[in-house]
Structure 1
Amino acid sequence: MPALIQKLHPALYPGARLMLDDTRRPVFSQQGDWDAGSALHCAAMALAMLGKLFDPVDVRGYSSGPVAHFWDRAWPHYLHGLTPSELAAFVWELDAGAQPVQLEDPADELAHACSQELAAGWPVVVWIVNRRTDERHAALVVGIEEHDAILTALLLLDPAGAAPVLAVCNARLEFRKPHASYITAEGSMPAGVDGAVSIRLLDACTTGAGCA
C-alpha cells in the first residue's frame, strides 16, 4: 500500500489550535479583509517559529521590545504588501537575528527548494499565483506531504484563510498534472509558486550550518 507521510516544521505543536512547541502560544496570524499584508503576517509567524518573535498574533499590543519593533517596521507596508525582494529587505532591516534568503530556483523547481529549506528547519514564505486571475498572495510553508517519498503537496498557513482547527494547515498546494492546485476550505484553483523567501537563523548561517 502506498505510504503517505506529512512532515511538519519542528517548532510547531498540533492540537485543537496550532501552537508554538516551546511556548504553547498560538502561531496563526490572520490577515484582514482590507489589507495586503499577507507577507508581513507570514514573516511574523516565521520569526516566531525561529524563536525571534514572542507573539506573532497580537503585534499591536506591545509598547516595547521585539514585537513592538516588528509592528513599527511593518505598519507602513501593511496596505500595499511586499514582493519577495521587499520582504527580504524588510527582514534584514528588522535586525532580529534572522537572515532572509530569496530562492532563485526556476519556477517549476521552487516547491522542491521550499521542501529542502523546511527540512533544514527554515520556514519559507511563498507567493502563490492564481493562474485564472494572475493574482498573487503570500503563504507560509509549515510542512510537506510525500507519497512514496515523492513530494506531492506543500502544507501552508494562509493568513487570508480561517485559523486551522484540529489541523496543521489551512491551505495546500498539491502537485497534479497538468497543473498544481491551491486548495482551501473555500475551494481549489489552478496555481503555482511565484517567488519564495526562506528565513534562516543568522547564527546558524554565520557558522555555516544549513546555509548555502
Structure 2
Amino acid sequence: MSILIQKLHPALYPGRRLALAGRRQPLFSRQGMWDSGSALHCAAMALAMLGKLSDPVDVRVYLNGPVAQFWDRAWPHYLHGLTPSELASFVWELDAGVQPVECEGSADEILRFCAQELAAGWPVIVWIVNRRTGERHAALAVGLEERDTVSKALLLLDPAEATPVLAACNARLEPGKPHATYITTEATVRADVYGAVSIRRSEDDASEAGCA
C-alpha cells in the first residue's frame, strides 16, 4: 500500500483557521487585489512562525514595537514587491534576530534547498513564475509531502489565494520535467521556480548556507 505523508512546520496549528501553535494567533496574511506585496506577506508569516512577530495579520494597527517597525519598513515596497535579493536585504535591515539565506540556481536546486531548510525548521519563501504569463509571485513553504519517502510537493501558503480552512496550506508546488506544476483551488499552471529565501533564527544557526 502506498503511504502519503505530509510534514508540516511545527509552528503551525491547522485547526478550522490556520494559527500559530501555542498562542493560537491567526497566521494567514491575505494579499490584496491591487498590491504586489506577496513577499512581504510571506515574510510577516515567516517571522511570526519563528516567534519574531506577534501579529502577521493586522500589522497596520500597531503604533510601536516589532510589528509597527515591520510595517514602517514594508509599506514603501507594498505596490511593487520585492525580488529574492531585495527581500533578503529587507529582512537583514529589520534587525529582528533572524538570518535570511538566499538560494539561486536551477529549479531542482531551489526545491532541494527548500526541502532541506523546512526539514531543519526554517520557513522558506519561494518565487514562482507562471510560464504562460511570465508573472512572478511569492509563496511561503510550510511543509513537505512525500509518497513512499519520495518528495512529491512543497506545501505552500499563497497570500493571493483563499484563506485555508481546516488545512495548513492553500497551494502546492509539484516538481517535474520540463517544468513544475503550481496548484491552487483556482487553477493549475505550468511554473518555473525563480529563487528562494529561507529565514532562520540567528541565535540558533548563524552558519553560511545556500543551494546544495
Please, what TM-score do these two structures have when normalized by structure 2? 0.95
Once the two structures are TM-superposed, the CA of residue 187 in structure 1 deviates from its matched residue by: 1.5
Once the two structures are TM-superposed, the CA of residue 119 in structure 1 deviates from its matched residue by: 0.4
Q: Contact 2:104–2:194 (CA<8 Å) still a contact in 1?
A: no
The more displaced of 175-184 and 129-138 is 175-184
Verify: 1:62 aligned to 2:82, yes or no. Answer: no
Q: Contact 1:6–1:143 (CA<8 Å) still a contact in 2?
A: yes
User: 2: CA distance between counterparts of 1:113 and 1:148?
Assistant: 20
Aligned to 1:29: 29
Q: After the TM superposition, which residues 74-153 of structure 1 pair with which residues of structure 2 at under 5 Å, given as runs?
A: 74-153=74-153
Once the two structures are TM-superposed, the CA of residue 205 in structure 1 deviates from its matched residue by: 2.2
Query: How many residue pairs align between the two structures?
Result: 209
Structure 2 gaps, min length 5: none
| Counterpart amino acid of residue 43 in structure 2 | A
Aligned to 1:12: 12
1:95-121 CA distance string (max 9 Å, x none): 000100101343322111101000001
Verify: 1:197 aligned to 2:184, yes or no. Answer: no
Once the two structures are TM-superposed, the CA of residue 74 in structure 1 deviates from its matched residue by: 0.2
Query: What SS does the aligned partner of 1:43 have?
Result: helix
Q: Contact 1:98–1:201 (CA<8 Å) still a contact in 2?
A: yes
Query: What SS does the aligned partner of 2:59 have?
Result: coil
User: 2: CA distance between counterparts of 1:91 and 1:61?
Assistant: 21
Once the two structures are TM-superposed, the CA of residue 177 in structure 1 deviates from its matched residue by: 4.3
User: 2: CA distance between counterparts of 1:143 and 1:124?
Assistant: 10
| Counterpart amino acid of residue 40 in structure 2 | L
Instruction: State the percentage of identical aligned residues.
Output: 72
User: 2: CA distance between counterparts of 1:106 and 1:186?
Assistant: 27
Q: Contact 1:112–1:151 (CA<8 Å) still a contact in 2?
A: no
| Counterpart amino acid of residue 155 in structure 1 | L
| Counterpart amino acid of residue 167 in structure 2 | A
Question: CA RMSD of the aligned region, Å?
Answer: 1.1
Structure 1 gaps, min length 5: none
Query: What SS does the aligned partner of 2:205 have?
Result: helix
Query: What SS does the aligned partner of 2:61 have?
Result: coil
Q: Contact 1:129–1:194 (CA<8 Å) still a contact in 2?
A: yes
Q: Contact 1:88–1:102 (CA<8 Å) still a contact in 2?
A: yes
Q: Contact 1:40–1:74 (CA<8 Å) still a contact in 2?
A: yes
Aligned to 1:156: 156
User: 1: CA distance between counterparts of 2:204 and 2:196?
Assistant: 20
Once the two structures are TM-superposed, the CA of residue 19 in structure 1 deviates from its matched residue by: 0.4
User: 2: CA distance between counterparts of 1:145 and 1:108?
Assistant: 16
Q: Contact 1:130–1:192 (CA<8 Å) still a contact in 2?
A: yes
User: 2: CA distance between counterparts of 1:103 and 1:205?
Assistant: 17
Once the two structures are TM-superposed, the CA of residue 178 in structure 1 deviates from its matched residue by: 4.3
User: 1: CA distance between counterparts of 2:107 and 2:174?
Assistant: 15
Please, what TM-score do these two structures have when normalized by structure 1? 0.95
User: 1: CA distance between counterparts of 2:178 and 2:14?
Assistant: 32
Once the two structures are TM-superposed, the CA of residue 179 in structure 1 deviates from its matched residue by: 2.8
User: 1: CA distance between counterparts of 2:115 and 2:22?
Assistant: 23
User: 1: CA distance between counterparts of 2:47 and 2:101?
Assistant: 14
Aligned to 1:174: 174
